[in-house]
Amino acid sequence: MHDIKKLAAAVCVVAMMALSACGSLNPVSRAETASQKTYALYGTFVVFEEQAAQIAQDSNVSLEVKRSLAAADAVAKPVMDKSVDLALTVDGIREDLAEGNSTEELLVIATENLMKWYLDAVPKVQALVAAVRGVRK
Amino acid sequence: MSVAWNVLAAMLRALGLLATDPAWGTKGEAIARFLALGALALERGEAGRADLEKLAAHIDTMVAQGREPTEGEWADLRARSDAAHAILQEAAKGDPTPEPESPADDSEGGTKD
């Protein structure tokens, strides 16, 4: 019995090592433009959303945990989806501008609006990441 | 690296199965559940790390090419997000209680009220 407990403790250590390695990666920090940053944040969100979905499908996970993951996702997803819509708008305006069919001022306004939603989405995505990592510990 | 994590996860799952032996009693079940969660953590942690590495490399390429994400790239992520979201919302509902089969007299319109 004690051997199994020691093994379980070792598993926790190994899992935390794996997670800390995971945490050292930050795709958002690699991005430069507003659209790239939004894409990187959205991609990170999707990676953890998919992990949450897989955890939620495991029969060993309690309903309470599944609901906490779903709740964190439900908070982040609408804001993230809106950010994506705005990023597409920004990209559209940029293309129009290149063809002489829009203005620099419009691009600035749209980009600022995108960044507002992006900054609003960051803590919500972080909350989902924390929820997923909390289940694993 | 990935293989090592997955092998370790498989070993944990095997140990968990051993712990379900009736000789271990309820503690055995608890240990089995804990080991299963440990295995899941390893598998998901490794998969998540690989996914983030892939995403980071993709962003690096995008920056190097000096381009913005394409509509197809956005659509791909949105489709994945929608699928995961649907699974999460369904899982949060819990196991549906199986509905009892309709009694034969229901078809005759009888009620107990």
- Rounded-to-10 torsion of CA A127, A130, A134, B1: 150
The phi, psi pair for B89, rounded to 5°, reads -65, -35
Instruction: Give me the residue from B12, B73, B78 closest to A11, CB to CB.
Output: B12
- Mean pLDDT, to the nearest integer, of A95-110? 96
Do the chains contact at A15 and B46, CB–CB below 8 Å?
no
Q: What is the largest CA-CA distance in chain A?
A: 74
Q: Which residues, at least 6 apart from B41, have a Cβ–Cβ distance to it below 8 Å? A: A11, A15, A18, A19, A136, A137
Per residue in B43-68, pLDDT (tens digit) is 666 668 889 999 999 999 999 999 99
Task: Please tell me what DSSP assigns to residue B104.
Answer: G
Nearest-neighbour CA in chain B from A2: distance (Å): 11
Cα B70 to Cα B39: distance, rounded to the nearest angstrom:
37
pLDDT in tens, A32-70: 999 999 999 999 999 999 999 999 999 889 999 999 999
pLDDT at B107 over 50: no
Contact A56, A69 (CB under 8 A): yes
ipTM of the shown complex: 0.80
Residues of A in Cβ contact (< 8 Å) with B35: 4, 7-8, 11
Rounded Cα distance, A37 and A117, in Å: 12
Q: Using an 8 Å Cβ cutoff, are A93 and A107 in contact?
A: yes
User: How close B99 gets to chain A, by Cα (Å)?
Assistant: 20
On whether any CB of chain A is under 8 Å from the CB of B65, the answer is no
Q: Six-digit token pair at A45?
A: 């969100």
Q: What is the pLDDT of residues B67-79, one digit of tens each?
A: 999 999 999 999 9
Residue A23, token pair as written in the block: 């945490």
Render pLDDT for A8-30 as a digit per residue (tens, 0 to 9): 555 545 544 554 444 457 899 99
Do A1 and B27 make contact, defined as CB atoms within 8 angstroms? yes
Residue-wise pLDDT for A78-90, tens only, equals 999 999 999 999 9
Interface check A47 vs B, CB under 8 A? yes
DSSP chain A: -HHHHHHHHHHHHHHHHHHHHHHT--HHHH--SHHHHHHHHHHHHHHHHHHHHHHHT-TTS-HHHHHHHHHHHHHHHHHHHHHHHHHHHHHHHHHHHHTTSS-HHHHHHHHHHHHHHHHHHHHHHHHHHHHHHHHH-
What is the pTM for the complete model shown?
Answer: 0.69
Decide if pLDDT at B91 tops 80.
yes
